[in-house]
Amino acid sequence: MTKLLPSLYLITDRQQIQEGHQLIGVVEELLQAGIKMIQLREKDLSAAELYPLAKELRTLTHQHKSLLLVNDRIDLAQAVGADGVHLGHHSLPIKMARKILGLNSLIGASTHSVAEIESAQNQGADFVTYGPVYFTPSKAIYGAPTGIESLQDVCKKCKIPIYALGGIKANNIQATLQAGAHGVAMISALLAGPTPTQAYQEISVLL
């Protein structure tokens, strides 16, 4: 089955939301603006804390015909009827996630090299994120930026759709697409500013 993957992928981080605002409110604003794919990624929250958040996001994403993926937690994705999961190094193997979730669920994976992309591809992932392509405020956690040439290289070598991730902003989207990325994944450029709708509008016209 061919799965249609939007070119813009929002990853959540409620700690980057402006003071006085809530994650749900900002996500709803972005859904109203037109965002079609969201990953719930709040790594410091327990399953008990994530569940109501995921449920609320599921209701909202259904209303706006948007895809919802859950970071790491296959059980939580199943519990709320999410469209899929996004897996990292510490997650269950992609192959096992595919076995549990079946062919209709979306499985994304975080990657940082050609070898990781090929492994994700071989295990049945639908897409990968690759990065950090540029400097990101949280860069220390993800390592040095790969740079645009490296993105171009992996896009040439791998067939699976690749989302450029890490420091992606309006002014570098074009370069990532020219490098061969299927789309872009972002946190701060969409979530962290004072006007998320305006940020979405500026970004979405470039994709």
Query: Which one, 100 or 197, has the nearer CB to ligand 3NM?
Result: 197
Query: Does residue 131 touch ligand 3NM according to CB under 6 A?
Result: yes
Query: Does residue 116 touch ligand 3NM according to CB under 6 A?
Result: no
Query: Does residue 183 touch ligand 3NM according to CB under 6 A?
Result: no
Q: Which residues contact 126 (CB under 8 A, 6 or more apart)?
A: 3, 5, 84, 106, 107, 108, 160, 161
Show the binding pattern over residues 14-33: x = contacts ligand 3NM (CB under 6 A), - = does not. Answer: --------------------
Q: Which stretch binds ligand 3NM (CB under 6 A): 20-28, 29-37, 101-109, 183-191?
A: 183-191
Torsion of CA 81, 86, 92, 97, to 10 degrees: 50
Query: Does residue 150 touch ligand 3NM according to CB under 6 A?
Result: no
Q: Which residues contact 111 (CB under 8 A, 6 or more apart)?
A: 117, 120, 128, 129, 130
Q: Which residues of 105-165 form beta strands (DSSP E)?
A: 106-111, 127-130, 162-165
Among 57, 155, 160, 165, binds ligand 3NM (CB under 6 A): 165
- For 81, left (φ over 0), alpha (ψ -120 to 50), or beta? left
Query: Does residue 6 touch ligand 3NM according to CB under 6 A?
Result: no
Q: Which of residues 31-90 bind ligand 3NM (CB under 6 A)?
A: none
Q: What share of the chain is helix, strand, coil (3-state, %, to 5)?
A: 45, 15, 40
Residue 142: what are its φ and ψ, rounded to 5°?
-100, -5
Among 12, 91, 105, 110, binds ligand 3NM (CB under 6 A): 110
Query: Does residue 142 touch ligand 3NM according to CB under 6 A?
Result: yes
Query: Does residue 108 touch ligand 3NM according to CB under 6 A?
Result: no
SS3 85: strand
Query: Does residue 11 touch ligand 3NM according to CB under 6 A?
Result: yes
Site residue total, ligand 3NM (CB under 6 A)? 15
Least CB distance from residue 150 to ligand 3NM, whole Å?
12
* Residue 184 contacts residue 7 (beta carbons within 8 Å): yes
Euclidean distance between CA atoms 121 and 116, whole angstroms: 8
Binding site for ligand 3NM (CB under 6 A): 11, 110, 131-132, 136, 138, 142, 165-168, 186-189
